[in-house]
Structure 1
Amino acid sequence: MIGDDTSLHADTGVTSGMFVERSLNEIRFWARIMKEHSLFLRLGFRAEDTQLIQEANQFYRLFEQIEQTAHSFNNQTDPEHIRRFNSEVQQAATNIFGFKRKVLGLILTCKLPGANNFPLLVDHTSREANYFRKRLVELNQGKLQSLPDAIIKENVFFLRIMADHAKFIGHLLDPSERKLVDVARNFSNDFDQLLYQARDLESMKPQSQTAPLLDQFLDQNRVSVASLRDFKKTARDLIEQCKIKSIIHPLLADHVFREADRFLEIIDMFDAHLTGGTR
């Protein structure tokens, strides 16, 4: 990683400036995602699920407050202050992860008949909460994975997220939107294949962690992610303009677009480190 001159953890190479910047970047992005998950889950509950609705609303307010607090800080904020903030947010992420897994259990044991949250969607949101929680733990511990490990691990995680998004879009579009449904299904198949390839590369570690293989891996994923991101943007715009038939909330359409855009940023960051020789 590229660092500054003020060391936070001399043994790991994590610096104060890097720690604060990365912590705020992660929290600003993922706190908004967690807040929106709370809304989407609430919208999927039945009217009689008052306790679950109340819990979802509490998480919405909690992560809204976290998001606002994160934006009140800047890169010059005291690292120890950020470390304490990370711990608080990590606990909030752990709590919403537990809530999501509880909801998943209720769905899978048929205790919420007639609710509108897909089990895969709830599992999907819980995986993102767990990712967020682990990211904050790693930051506070000053741990950074080696570049080859990070490239493969992050791509395995996000490729599955992208595959899920394509499936959700295909199921939430009105069946009469046949062409768009077909496009979504094709993206789902494409990302399933990319995920299988990523897991194959993961199982071949460490022999698979060569610069040429990883560079090709990133290039291939970038092309597909960019195409999916553009499709999501088009779908979002059409939904906002009421030009297609679906039960997709406009905020959900924007939500999945932002996650694809973030994946592209991560791919570009990895590619710059891999080809530029900086770490």
Structure 2
Amino acid sequence: MANEFVLRSLDEIRFWSRIMKEHSLFLRLGFRCEDTQLIHEANYFYHLFEGIEQKSHTFPVDTDPSVIHRFNVEVHTAVSHIWVFKRKILGLILSCKLPGQNNFPLLVDHVSREANYFRNRLEELNQGKLEPLQDAIIDENVFFLKIMADHAKFIGHLLDPSERKLVDQAREFSNDFDQLLFQATDLSSMRPQSQTQPLLSQFLDQNKVSVTSLRDFKQTARDLIEQCRIKSIIHPLLADHVFREANRFLEIIDMFENHLTGACQPMILSH
């Protein structure tokens, strides 16, 4: 169990600290040139999480759990601070105090939700209070289905309007994941009666099919953007960023399926 705590903690930090670092970059790119204080803060968080990411790779798998416990606390503090920063930006945008900036309010809310998710995961690991499997399946899917729906909306809005076919595909994915999210929240509200093995298995199967299709769409879009073959204002790193998050969701679904079917593989996510 001590070894699993170390592995899971490092896995979460290695994945999400990179995500937090990239959020800082994306937010900075959306600010106006006169937003010097916000740009400075975004740069601070970029380097903070870059350092955390690098430090996470220095710990071997047999590190003393107490050392990782302290590291989790350190990272939790950093994530709490970037969450406050993101919510501050959202407040400024929604109160029309940053006219002309280019960060969608939904995007800022989106990245703050991911920071809160990361923060909660670190707390659960340090307290040794991970959710029961049936609850985790529903809650993780509700969270990630919303993330995937948001991604589809962002892609559709950041592609050039002349890329009509791709814009239509992004809109279709947005609608698909909105429906999946509604189904997931319905299943959640029916708890605990809805937490049967057949219902949860079907729930995971259905989501996996849609996430795989969206992941493949993101991969294609990422490759086309990197090759300068489509018109958009999507940063190549953003295209790869959303692709990695779809892969993460698929890994989580696979992990849940293994536990539901009794494969009993350790609940460790790989990269």
Tell me whether the two structures share a fold, i.e. TM-score over 0.5. Answer: yes
* Aligned counterparts of 2:97 and 2:57: Cα–Cα separation in 1: 39
Using the alignment, how far apart are the partners of 2:218 and 2:262 within structure 1?
31
1:210-221 mapped onto 2 (5 Å cutoff): 210-221=196-207
Q: Which residue of 1 aligns with 2:159?
A: 173
CA drift at 1:277: 5.9
2:132 paired with 1:146: yes
Matched, 1:105 2:54: no
Q: How does 1:88-103 map to 2 (within 5 A)?
A: 88-103=74-89
Instruction: Give percent identity, aligned residues only.
Output: 78
| 1:226 to 2:195 alignment | no
Give 1:236's match in structure 2, choosing from 222, 246, 253: 222
- CA-to-partner distance for each residue in 1:93-114, whole Å, 9 max, x for gaps? 0000000000000000000000
- Give the distance between the partners of 2:72 and 2:254, measured in 1 at CA: 26
Match of 2:269 in 1: none
3-state SS, counterpart of residue 276 of structure 1: coil
1:160 and 2:142 are equivalent in the alignment: no
Structure 2 counterpart of 1:26, from 9, 12, 17: 12
Counterpart code for 1:210? T
Aligned to 2:72: 86
Q: Which residue number in structure 2 is paired with residue 76 of structure 1?
A: 62
Equivalent in the alignment of 1:261:
247
Distance 1:124 1:116 in 2: 15
Q: 1:262 & 1:74 partners in 2: Cα distance?
A: 22
Aligned to 1:9: none
CA distance in 1, matches of 2:24, 2:186: 34
Hey, what's the Cα distance between the residues in 1 that align with 2:84 and 2:181? 26
**What residue in structure 1 maps to residue 180 of structure 2?**
194
CA distance in 2, matches of 1:42, 1:97: 15
Distance 1:183 1:205 in 2: 33
Unaligned regions of 5+ residues in structure 1, if any? Answer: 1-14
Where 2:261 maps in the other structure, the secondary structure is: helix
In 2, Cα distance between the equivalents of 1:277 and 1:146?
17
Aligned to 1:207: 193
CA distance in 2, matches of 1:226, 1:89: 31
Secondary structure in structure 2 of the residue aligned to 1:91? helix
Secondary structure of the 1:72 match is coil
Mapped partners of 1:72, 1:173: distance in 2: 39
Q: One-letter code of the match for 2:149?
A: A
In 1: Cα distance, 2:129 partner to 2:89 partner: 32
Q: Distance in 2 between matches of 1:145 and 1:122?
A: 27
Which residue type is aligned with residue 116 of structure 1? N
- Deviation, 1:74, is 1.9
Amino acid at match of 1:244: I
Runs (4 or more) in structure 1 with deviation over 3 Å come to none
For 2:214 and 2:177, the matched residues in 1 are separated by: 10
One-letter amino acid of the counterpart of residue 249, structure 1: H
Give, in whole Å, the separation in 2 of the partners of 1:19 and 1:143. 11
CA shift for structure 1 position 144: 1.3
The residue that corresponds to 1:131 in the other structure is 117
